[in-house]
Amino acid sequence: MSREKTKAVLNQSVADLSKASALVHQVHWYLRGPGFMKLHPKMDELMADLNNHLDALSERLITIGGSPVSTLKEFDELSKIEMDVATWDKTIEERFNEVVKAYKYLSELFEEGIEATDAEGDAVTNDMFTSAKGSIEKTVWMLESELGVAPGL
């Protein structure tokens, strides 16, 4: 089986995880205000988690005969995650809301991956998307809890 849908959603994930990592890195650098001391190192953890998903899904794409996008230009052109040039005038809450928006999009994308891999009979990649989706959803819960938002709202 050619797994074209699976390859396409894997490549979309490569671009979006790369851009999400850049967004979190931007927050890491431009974070200011109460909570900085505990939140600054948390951004390092989030970047590491995103990069672990990125590496695993990129290598899976190669394993099944695909070619992951790999340049900043490709990431920016393919990614659906919004990212603006950083400024110093945003609050921690505004920055975290940008990250939550990106993570919620990733959750939806990974659901598309679950559906594509299910349709194409790729249980291995399906498991990877399922695991990544669970990890992303947990991070959304944690970020929204930091913002004072109850789960599921």
Is 89 a residue whose pLDDT tops 70? yes
Structure tokens that stand for 5 in this block: 């849908």
Euclidean distance between CA atoms 94 and 62, whole angstroms:
37
What confidence score (pLDDT) does residue 153 get?
Answer: 59
Over range 51-65, report the average pLDDT: 98
Euclidean distance between CA atoms 94 and 97, whole angstroms:
5
Euclidean distance between CA atoms 142 and 38, whole angstroms:
14
Question: pLDDT digits over 5-27, tens only?
Answer: 999 999 999 999 999 999 999 99
What confidence score (pLDDT) does residue 150 get?
Answer: 86
Q: b vs e for 90-121, b when ≥16 Cβ sit within 10 Å of the residue's Cβ?
A: bebeebbbbbbebbebbbebbeebbebbeebe
pTM, entire model: 0.95
